[in-house]
């Protein structure tokens, strides 16, 4: 397989993978393109490589910068902006975990707290089932939140070694 073909294949695959995880396909593809590029790319380079419009390129690059996965670079003598991706996958993973924790776990807690103040006959079967379900989710979400927090602060080896060590 030729390099160009391999890049293309990887970019496609990364796009599909991303869209399974609520990340838009193009955003994941831009990320993949930057991941496998030796040098920083300009908006034009990205447009051309992925066959997408200028607006689309801009939107997705901005989003990636928001997520902390892509950085602007300035090239001396060039007026336009260039972009590079964070290449350490563990950093990428942590960064995504951090963002999603903030964006998604917080709203879940908000709703769980709201609905746990439900009023009525505490003894009814319906009420008991509801409260138990909500409590179970709340409990789990709290633990997951704590775990994620530690994960975000941890380094890669610490994390993976933890499992090996504890299995003994």
Interacting residue with DNA among 6, 13, 48, 62 (CB under 7 A): 62
Quote the least distance from Cβ 138 to a second copy, whole Å: 9
Interacting residue with DNA among 7, 12, 37, 52 (CB under 7 A): 52
Of residues 5 and 77, the one with the C-beta less far from a second copy = 5
CA distance 158 to 168: 16
Binding to DNA (CB under 7 A): which residues in 26-45? 26, 42-44
Of residues 6 and 65, the one with the C-beta less far from a second copy = 6
The residue behind tokens 């008991």 is 128
Q: Give the binding site for a second copy (CB under 8 A).
A: 1-3, 5-7, 9-10, 13, 16-17, 19-22, 35-39, 87-90, 93, 100, 104, 107-108, 111-112, 114-115, 117-120, 125-130, 132-134, 136-137, 139-140, 143, 146-147, 150, 158-160, 162-163, 165-167
Of residues 77 and 120, the one with the C-beta less far from a second copy = 120
Query: Residue 34 in contact with residue 41, Cβ under 8 Å?
Result: yes
């Amino acid at each position: 397989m030729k390099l160009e073909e391999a890049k293309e294949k990887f970019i496609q695959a990364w796009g599909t993978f991303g869209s399974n995880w609520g990340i838009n396909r193009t955003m994941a593809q831009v990320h993949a393109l930057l991941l496998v590029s030796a040098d920083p790319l300009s908006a034009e380079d990205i447009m051309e490589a992925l066959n997408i419009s200028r607006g689309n390129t801009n939107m997705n690059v901005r989003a990636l910068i928001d997520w902390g996965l892509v950085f602007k670079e300035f090239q001396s003598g060039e007026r336009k902006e260039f972009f590079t991706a964070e290449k350490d996958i563990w950093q990428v993973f942590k960064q995504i975990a951090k963002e999603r924790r903030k964006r998604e776990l917080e709203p879940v807690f908000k709703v769980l707290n709201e609905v746990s103040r439900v009023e009525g006959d505490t003894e009814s079967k319906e009420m008991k089932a509801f409260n138990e379900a909500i409590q179970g989710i709340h409990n789990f979400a709290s633990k997951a939140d704590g775990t994620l927090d530690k994960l975000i602060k941890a380094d890669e080896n610490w994390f993976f070694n933890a499992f090996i060590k504890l299995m003994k």
